[in-house]
Chains A and B, each alone.
Chain A
Amino acid sequence: MGKTSSIAVHHVTRVEGHGNIVIDLQDGRLTRCDLEIVESPRFFEVLLKDRPYQEAPRITCRICGICSVGHATASVQAVESALGVKPGPRTHILRRLNMCGEWLQSHILHAYFLVAPDAFGAPSVIPLAGEKPEVVARALRLKRLANEICYTVGGRHVMPISYLTGGMSYWPGAAELEALRAALEAARPDLDATVELFAGLTWPQAERDTEGLIALDDDGGYPMMGGPLHSSTGKTFAPRAYRDALHEYLVEHSASKHVRGQEGTVRVGALSRFNLAYERLHPRAQSAAIRLGLAPGLKNPFLYTAAQVVEAVHAFEEAVALTGLLLDDPTPEGRAPVTHPRGGEGVGICEVPRGTLVHHYDIGADGRIIRANCIIPTGQNLASVEEDLRAFVPGIVDRSEGEIAHFAEMLVRAYDPCISCSVHVVDVRFTGRAKAGETVRSKT
Chain B
Amino acid sequence: MRREEGPLTASGPRLTADLVVLGLGNPLAGDDGIGVALAEALAEAGPAAGAQVRVAGSDPLALLEELLAGRRVLLLDACRFGGRPGETTWLRLDDPTWPLAAAPLSLHGLDLPAVFELARALRLPLERAWLYGVEPAEIREGRGLSPAMRDAWPQLVDGAHRAVRRLTDERAPTEGAPAPTAGGVAAIRGA
Question: Complex Cα distance A54/B4, Å?
Answer: 12
Contact assessment for B1 and A129 in the assembled complex, using a CB-CB cutoff below 8 Å: no
Q: Pick out which of these stretches binds chain B: A140-148, A305-313, A352-360.
A: A140-148
Chain A, range 245-289, C-beta contacts under 8 Å to B? none
B106: chain A residues at CB < 8 Å are 13-16
Chain B, residue nearest A55 (CB): B5
Q: B128 CB to closest chain A CB, in angstroms?
A: 15
Q: A144-B69, A156-B10, A169-B4 are in contact. Are A13 and B121 (CB under 8 A)?
A: no
Contact assessment for B2 and A170 in the assembled complex, using a CB-CB cutoff below 8 Å: yes
Q: A13-B104, A126-B118 are in contact. Are A158 and B57 (CB under 8 A)?
A: yes
B190: chain A residues at CB < 8 Å are none
A179: chain B residues at CB < 8 Å are 14-15
Q: Pick out which of these stretches binds chain A: B58-66, B75-83, B84-92, B173-181.
A: B58-66
8 A-B contact pairs sorted by A residue (CB < 8 Å):
A16-B106, A65-B59, A140-B65, A144-B69, A155-B3, A156-B9, A162-B3, A170-B1
Q: A174 CB to closest chain B CB, in angstroms?
A: 12
Chain A, range 205-257, C-beta contacts under 8 Å to B? none
Top 9 nearest A-B pairs (CB, nearest first) are A161-B6, A129-B121, A144-B65, A130-B121, A169-B4, A170-B3, A13-B104, A169-B3, A124-B105
A16: chain B residues at CB < 8 Å are 106-108
Q: B10 CB to closest chain A CB, in angstroms?
A: 7
B68 interfacial contact with A, CB 8 Å: yes
Q: A14-B104, A140-B64, A143-B65 are in contact. Are A65 and B5 (CB under 8 A)?
A: no
The total of chain B residues at the interface (CB under 8 A) is 36
Q: A105 CB to closest chain B CB, in angstroms?
A: 10
Chain B, residue nearest A16 (CB): B108
B160 interfacial contact with A, CB 8 Å: no
Chain A, range 53-95, C-beta contacts under 8 Å to B? 54, 58, 65-66
Q: A272 CB to closest chain B CB, in angstroms?
A: 23
Chain B, range 98-134, C-beta contacts under 8 Å to A? 101, 104-108, 114, 117-118, 121-123
A195: chain B residues at CB < 8 Å are none
The one of B7, B15, B122 that contacts A133, using a Cβ cutoff of 8 Å? B122
Q: Which residues of A contact B (CB under 8 A)?
A: 13-17, 54, 58, 65-66, 109, 113-114, 123-127, 129-130, 133, 136-137, 140-141, 143-144, 147-148, 151, 155-159, 161-162, 164, 169-171, 173, 176, 179, 183, 332, 420
Contact assessment for B104 and A124 in the assembled complex, using a CB-CB cutoff below 8 Å: yes
Question: Complex Cα distance A183/B79, Å?
Answer: 34
B65: chain A residues at CB < 8 Å are 140-141, 143-144, 147
B7: chain A residues at CB < 8 Å are 161
B163: chain A residues at CB < 8 Å are none
B108: chain A residues at CB < 8 Å are 16-17, 65, 420
Overall SS of chain B's interface: loop
Contact assessment for A161 and B9 in the assembled complex, using a CB-CB cutoff below 8 Å: yes
Question: Complex Cα distance A427/B101, Å?
Answer: 37
Contact assessment for B105 and A113 in the assembled complex, using a CB-CB cutoff below 8 Å: yes
B156 interfacial contact with A, CB 8 Å: no
Q: B42 CB to closest chain A CB, in angstroms?
A: 16
B164: chain A residues at CB < 8 Å are none
B55 interfacial contact with A, CB 8 Å: yes
Chain B, range 6-64, C-beta contacts under 8 Å to A? 6-7, 9-10, 14-15, 54-59, 61-62, 64
Q: B65 CB to closest chain A CB, in angstroms?
A: 4
Output the residue of B7, B54, B56, B61 with the most chain A CB within 10 A: B61
The one of A125, A130, A157, A171 that contacts B59, using a Cβ cutoff of 8 Å? A157
Given contacts A126-B105, A161-B3, 13 further A-B contacts (CB under 8 A): A13-B106, A66-B107, A113-B107, A114-B107, A123-B104, A140-B61, A148-B14, A155-B3, A155-B10, A157-B54, A169-B4, A169-B6, A171-B1
A143: chain B residues at CB < 8 Å are 61, 65
Chain A, residue nearest B108 (CB): A16
Contact assessment for B68 and A140 in the assembled complex, using a CB-CB cutoff below 8 Å: yes
B62: chain A residues at CB < 8 Å are 144, 147, 157
Chain B, residue nearest A183 (CB): B15
The one of B9, B61, B104 that contacts A155, using a Cβ cutoff of 8 Å? B9
Contact assessment for B10 and A332 in the assembled complex, using a CB-CB cutoff below 8 Å: no
The one of A58, A125, A156, A161 that contacts B105, using a Cβ cutoff of 8 Å? A125
Question: Complex Cα distance A337/B118, Å?
Answer: 49
Q: A300 CB to closest chain B CB, in angstroms?
A: 24
Question: Complex Cα distance A13/B55, Å?
Answer: 28
The one of A126, A137, A151, A420 that contacts B14, using a Cβ cutoff of 8 Å? A151
B1: chain A residues at CB < 8 Å are 170-171, 173, 332
Chain A, residue nearest B115 (CB): A126
Contact assessment for B15 and A126 in the assembled complex, using a CB-CB cutoff below 8 Å: no
Chain B, residue nearest A170 (CB): B3
The one of A133, A141, A155, A162 that contacts B121, using a Cβ cutoff of 8 Å? A133
Q: A12 CB to closest chain B CB, in angstroms?
A: 10
A113: chain B residues at CB < 8 Å are 105, 107
Q: B139 CB to closest chain A CB, in angstroms?
A: 18
Question: Complex Cα distance A13/B105, Å?
Answer: 8
